[in-house]
C-alpha cells in the first residue's frame, strides 16, 4: 500500500522544521513526501531544499508554484501530484506523533471500506482561537468510528491536517472542485465520503494543531470578520452554513448518478439548509420562532444562545 504525504507551504519558516522532523521520524515511513511552495518570501523554500539535502531524503520532492494559487488550490494540485493509494494531508506548522502514519495506515489495511480517515488532535494555542472537538454519532469499526452524523454544524468534523484518504475518491473530489473551486479541499473530502457513508474518525490524538494569529487560515478569517459587529459575525456564520448546504444540494442534484447512497445525506443537508433559513428569518425579523430542538442539533449551542440573546434585544 503506497503512502503519500502532501504539504502546502507559504511563508512557514517559523515552525516548519518541527513538522518536517515529525514526518521524517515516523515509525512507518511514507513512500513519498510532496511539498508545494506557493511563493514564499521568507526563505521557506530554500530551507526545505536544504533540509531534504541535509537528511538525504531521496523520496521527498519540493515544487514551486509559478503563481500564487492560495492554499485551497495548492492542495488540489498536490492531490494531482501524489501517486500513493493513501494520501496524508499535512500543514506546514503542526507536529505529528511518531506513530501517526503507522496507526492510521493499519486502519486502512484492515478496513477497505474506509475512504476518509480523520483523527483527533491536541491544540497548541499561540494566539489563535480554541475549538472544541466536534461531537458526532458513530458506530465503532475496529479502532475507528464510522461517522453516522455530526451534532452541531455542517462544518468539518476534523481539520484536514489530521486526515488521510484513499486516492480512488479523487475523481469525485475534482468534480466537486470544478463545481465550486472556492470550497476547501478537506470540506470536499468530507462531503464526498459522507455522501457515500465511508467517512471514519480515528479517536486518538495523533498530532498537534498549532493555532496562531499568523497562520494562513487565521489571517483569512480575520480579514473576513474585520470591522464586523457581533450580529454580522453571527449572520456570517449561519450564511456560510446555509451556502455550504445549498452547494452540496446542487452538487448532488447534478451528479447523483455518480454518487451511490446519496439519498440519506441529501435529506440531512436539506434539513440543515431549512434550519439555516429559519435562523436567518429570525435575525431579519421575518419570524419570531426559535426552536431549540432544531437550532441546536443543526447549528450548535453557541449559535442558539446568541440567537436567544438577540430575541431579548428585540
Of residues 120 and 35, more confidence is placed in: 35
As a whole number, mean pLDDT of residues 18-33 equals 98
Band of pLDDT at residue 308, cut at 50, 70 and 90:
confident
- Domains of the chain, by residue range, sit at 3-212, 227-313
Only one residue has cell 500513493, namely 84
Q: Tell me how far apart the alpha carbons of residues 244 and 250 are, in angstroms, rounded to a whole number.
A: 10
Model confidence, pTM: 0.87
Contact 216, 71 (CB under 8 A): yes
- Spatial CA neighbour of 207 closest among 5, 61, 2: 5
Question: Phi, psi at residue 53, to the nearest 5°?
Answer: -65, -40
Select 3-212's CATH number: 3.40.50.300, 3.30.530.20, 3.90.550.10, 1.10.10.10: 3.90.550.10
- 183-193 residue pLDDT tens: 899 999 999 99
Residue 225: predicted pLDDT: 43
Q: Tell me how far apart the alpha carbons of residues 212 and 221 are, in angstroms, rounded to a whole number.
A: 12
- Give me 224's grid cell: 473576513
Q: Tell me how far apart the alpha carbons of residues 162 and 120 are, in angstroms, rounded to a whole number.
A: 7
Amino acid at each position: 500500500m503506497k503512502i503519500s504525504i502532501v504539504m502546502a507551504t507559504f511563508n512557514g519558516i517559523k515552525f516548519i522544521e518541527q513538522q518536517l522532523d515529525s514526518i521524517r521520524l515516523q515509525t512507518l515511513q511514507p513512500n513519498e513526501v510532496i511539498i508545494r511552495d506557493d511563493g514564499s518570501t521568507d526563505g521557506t523554500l530554500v530551507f526545505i531544499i536544504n533540509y531534504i539535502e541535509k537528511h538525504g531524503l531521496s523520496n521527498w520532492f519540493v515544487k514551486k508554484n509559478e503563481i500564487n494559487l492560495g492554499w485551497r488550490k495548492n492542495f488540489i494540485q498536490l492531490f494531482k501530484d501524489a501517486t500513493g493509494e493513501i494520501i496524508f494531508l499535512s500543514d506546514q506548522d503542526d507536529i505529528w506523533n511518531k506513530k501517526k502514519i503507522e496507526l492510521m495506515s493499519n486502519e486502512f489495511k484492515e478496513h477497505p471500506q474506509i475512504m476518509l480517515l480523520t483523527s483527533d488532535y491536541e491544540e497548541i494555542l499561540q494566539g489563535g482561537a480554541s475549538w472544541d472537538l466536534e461531537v458526532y454519532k458513530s458506530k465503532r469499526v475496529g479502532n475507528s468510528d464510522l461517522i453516522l452524523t455530526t451534532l452541531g454544524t455542517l462544518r468539518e468534523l476534523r481539520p484536514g491536517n489530521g486526515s488521510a484518504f484513499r486516492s480512488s475518491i479523487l475523481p469525485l473530489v475534482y468534480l466537486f472542485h470544478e463545481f465550486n473551486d472556492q470550497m476547501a479541499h478537506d470540506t470536499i473530502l468530507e462531503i464526498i465520503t459522507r455522501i457515500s457513508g465511508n467517512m471514519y474518525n480515528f479517536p486518538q490524538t495523533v498530532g498537534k494543531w498549532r493555532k496562531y494569529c499568523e497562520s494562513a487560515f487565521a489571517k483569512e478569517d480575520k480579514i473576513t470578520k474585520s470591522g464586523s459587529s457581533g450580529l454580522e459575525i453571527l449572520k456570517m456564520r449561519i450564511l456560510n452554513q446555509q451556502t455550504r448546504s445549498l452547494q452540496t444540494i446542487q452538487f448532488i442534484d447534478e451528479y447523483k448518478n455518480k454518487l451511490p447512497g446519496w439519498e440519506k445525506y441529501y435529506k440531512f443537508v436539506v434539513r440543515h439548509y431549512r434550519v439555516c433559513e429559519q435562523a436567518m428569518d429570525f435575525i431579519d425579523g421575518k419570524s419570531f420562532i426559535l426552536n431549540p430542538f432544531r437550532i441546536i442539533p443543526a447549528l450548535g449551542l453557541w449559535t442558539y444562545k446568541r440567537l436567544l440573546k438577540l430575541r431579548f434585544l428585540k
